[in-house]
Amino acid sequence: MDNPKELHYTKEHEWVKIENGIGTVGITDFAQHSLTDIVFVELPEKGKQVEQFKQLTVLESVKSVSDIYSPISGEVTEVNESLSDSPEQVNKSPFENGWIAKIKLKDEKELENLMTAEQYNEYLKTKEH
């Protein structure tokens, strides 16, 4: 699966798509594949203040519990409630239906700390054994 070009990426394999000052956040295909079957998504609370590269939430898979970090700072404005009943959407559709939260972007300059799709693809080459 190609990493969408309009997204920004972290070294921890989260992505963010910015639209009108709101960032939609999820994990990459690489991350969901590494985690295997996701069985639970702990959704962050609406109104929660998050900081770039600090914990946003937790995902549980059949083999581990993993922290998910926020690619941007801001306020959680919406969460993907459908993941409560169908956490497997993160595996099946990491870039569309498997998004986790929407965050009101606090500082657009933070995007400079993230990778483009091209940079992320290069970064992944260093991770594959």
Evaluate whether residue 2 is within a structural domain: no
What pLDDT is recorded for position 1? 63
Evaluate whether residue 41 is within a structural domain: yes
**Mean pLDDT, the chain, whole residue set:** 95
Query: CA–CA separation, 120 vs 74, rounded Å?
Result: 23
58-111 pLDDT, tens per residue?
A: 999 998 999 999 999 999 999 999 999 999 999 999 999 999 999 999 999 999
Query: CA–CA separation, 129 vs 113, rounded Å?
Result: 26
Query: CA–CA separation, 76 vs 37, rounded Å?
Result: 25
Model confidence band, residue 3 (pLDDT cutoffs 50, 70, 90) = confident
Evaluate whether residue 20 is within a structural domain: yes
CB count within 10 Å of CB 96 equals 10
Average pLDDT of the residues in 19-24: 97
Evaluate whether residue 45 is within a structural domain: yes
Number of domains in the chain: 1
Model confidence band, residue 128 (pLDDT cutoffs 50, 70, 90) = low
Q: Quote the tokens at residue 81.
A: 């409630």
Evaluate whether residue 1 is within a structural domain: no
Evaluate whether residue 117 is within a structural domain: no
What pLDDT is recorded for position 115? 98
pLDDT at 113 over 70: yes
Q: Quote the tokens at residue 25.
A: 């956040």
Which residues constitute the domain of residue 38? Answer: 8-107
Query: CA–CA separation, 89 vs 116, rounded Å?
Result: 24
**In whole angstroms, how large is the CA radius of gyration of the chain?**
13
Average pLDDT of the residues in 32-40: 95
Specify the CATH number for the domain of residue 92.
Answer: 2.40.50.100
